[in-house]
Amino acid sequence: MNIGSKIAWDDTVLPFQLDRTSTRGRVARLDGVLQNVLAQHDYPPVIEALVAEATLLTALIGQTIKLRWKLSLQIRGDGPARLIATDYYGPTKDGAPARIRAYASYDKERIDLNAASFDQVGSGYFAILIDQGEGTVPYQGITPLAGGSLAASAQTYFAQSEQLPTRFALSFGQSQNPGEDMHWRAGGVMLQQMPEASIEAQGGGSGEGGLLVADDILDGDAAEDWNHVNILLDSAEEIELIGPSVQPTELLTRLFHQDGPRVFDAQPVEFGCTCSPDKVRQSLSIYSARDIGHMTTDAGIVTADCQFCGAHYEFDPKTLGKEAADE
C-alpha cells in the first residue's frame, strides 16, 4: 500500500513498520464505533472518557494479535468506576471488519465530576484476556494499574507481562464538524519494539511499585532506537492524532520520514455485539430451579439485558437452569 494513497480513515486501524528501526506500530481512528459504544448508556462525562480511552486501546491492541476470536480488556478498581470491559472480535474472513464493544459499571453516588477520569478508578488492575476459540486454552495477563492513565497502565502491562516495550499516544473527546452535532471521536498511535530487540530484565523494575518499564528491558542500540522514536512521537499534536484533517499516512510521514515508515492494509472496525438468546440461556444453565425462581418477575418471566448493546431478553423460567439444560 503506498503511503501517499487516500482511503476513508475513520473507524480503521492502520498497521505500520519503521524499517530503519526495530519498531512496529498502529494508528487508529474511531468515530462511528465510539459513538455506538457510548450511545448504549447515559454515562457521566468522566466515565465516557474512560470508556473512550479503553475502546481506543482495544482497537490498537486487538489489531496486533492474529486472533481467531476475541481479545478483551478489563480494568477493575476500588473507586467509583468499578469495571471497564471491552471486547475485540477478530475479522471472520479477509477484508471483513473487526468488531468492538465496551461498557462500564460505576457507582453513580461516588462519582466526582471535578476529578480526573483515571481518579475514578482508584487502585486495581489492568487485564488482557485472549480467547482463540474452541479447542484452545484462554490466556489472561494481569498487572496493577499504574502511571495515572489507562494508556500508561497498558504500557506497564506490556513491559511487565510480555517484556515488550510499548508506547501509546492517544487523543479522544467531543468533536464537531461544521453542520454536525457534537460527537465523540478518538485517535492514537501505538509503538512496540520488536521482540528480538529486547533483553531479559533482571530483578525488579524502575517503574511505579517496582514494575518494569521499557528502559528496564532494552539495552544498547535497541534502547537508543526506542528513545528516538518516542521523542518523535512526543511531537505529535492532539489534532494530528484524532483527525480527520490529518490522514494517518501524513502523520507517519511527518513523524518518522527518516526511519522508513512502511504501511500495510488498514483494518476496518465496527461496533458489534455477540449476545443472543442462546448465549443468555447458556449463561443461566448453571443455576438451579430454585435460583431461577428467585430471578422470576411477578409477571412470571425471567429478564436479562446486555450491558454492551442494551438488548433485552425475556424467557419462560421453565426453559432455564440446570434442570432445563439436562432435559
Taking alpha carbons only, the member of 96, 244, 230 closest to residue 180 is 244
As a whole number of angstroms, the distance between CA 37 and CA 281 comes to 24
Average pLDDT over residues 23-39: 95
8 A C-beta contact, residue 90 and residue 67: yes
Does this model's pTM top 0.85?
yes
How confident is the model at residue 244, as a pLDDT?
A: 84
* pLDDT 10s digits, 123-149: 999 999 998 877 788 899 999 999 999
Q: Which of 3.40.50.150, 3.55.30.10, 3.40.120.10, 3.90.79.10 would CATH assign to domain 12-176+183-192+207-221+261-271? A: 3.55.30.10
As a whole number of angstroms, the distance between CA 264 and CA 249 comes to 11
pLDDT interval class at 174 (50, 70, 90): confident
Percent of the chain with pLDDT over 90: 60
How confident is the model at residue 6, as a pLDDT?
A: 38
Torsion of CA 107, 112, 115, 117, to 10 degrees: 20
The DSSP bridge partners found for residue 305 are: 312
8 A C-beta contact, residue 41 and residue 59: no
Percent of the chain with pLDDT over 70: 92
The x, y and z cell numbers of residue 322, run together, are 440446570
How confident is the model at residue 198, as a pLDDT?
A: 46
As a whole number of angstroms, the distance between CA 309 and CA 44 comes to 18
Within 8 A by CB and 6+ apart from 34, the residues are: 52, 55, 56, 172, 184, 185, 186
Within 8 A by CB and 6+ apart from 264, the residues are: 1, 14, 15, 16, 17
Domain boundaries, the chain: 12-176+183-192+207-221+261-271, 277-326
As a whole number of angstroms, the distance between CA 79 and CA 107 comes to 8
CATH architecture of 277-326: Alpha-Beta Complex (3.90)
Name the helix (H) or strand (E) containing 95.
none
* pLDDT 10s digits, 195-220: 654 455 555 787 888 888 888 888 88
- Give the DSSP letter of residue 258: G
